[in-house]
Amino acid sequence: MALRPHRLRTLILAAAIMVAGGGASAFARDHDDARRAVEAGEIRPLADILNVVRGRLPGDVVGVKLEREAGAWKYELRVVDDKGRVFEIHIDARSGEVERTKEK
């Protein structure tokens, strides 16, 4: 599942929007929090996480969410495979470890 540059830009924009979860001020604050977390080594960059998912489940990433749950950062990705099935993948944002995968 190779991402072309335009798809990667679209995915990054979608991730930023999903992280924001609201208006412009929430977007700026959440985006800055995520950027600082990457810079501080608290979470792995989205590109690293996408490489992990590519190795585990072929298909197209159609959604990305980054959130804090009980003080820990988590990535949640939605992937559609070539048969049209949708999978939700939960990943520890610090380690990059896939915690669970379930078909929706």
State the pLDDT at residue 23. 45
Residue 4 has pLDDT above 80, yes or no: no
3-state secondary structure the chain: CCCCHHHHHHHHHHHHHHHHCCCHHHHHHHHHHHHHHHHCCCCCCHHHHHHHHHHHCCCEEEEEEEEEECCEEEEEEEEECCCCCEEEEEEECCCCCEEEEEEC
Q: Which of 66, 76, 79, 80 is nearest to 99 (CA)?
A: 76
5-103 has CATH 3.40.50.1370 classification: no
- Domain range summary for the chain, segments of one domain joined by +: 5-103
State the pLDDT at residue 5. 47
> Which pLDDT tens digit goes with each residue over 11-42?
554 555 454 444 444 444 577 888 888 899 99
**CA 80, CA 64: separation in Å to the nearest integer?**
12
Residue 44 has pLDDT above 70, yes or no: yes
Of 11 and 89, which is predicted with more confidence? 89
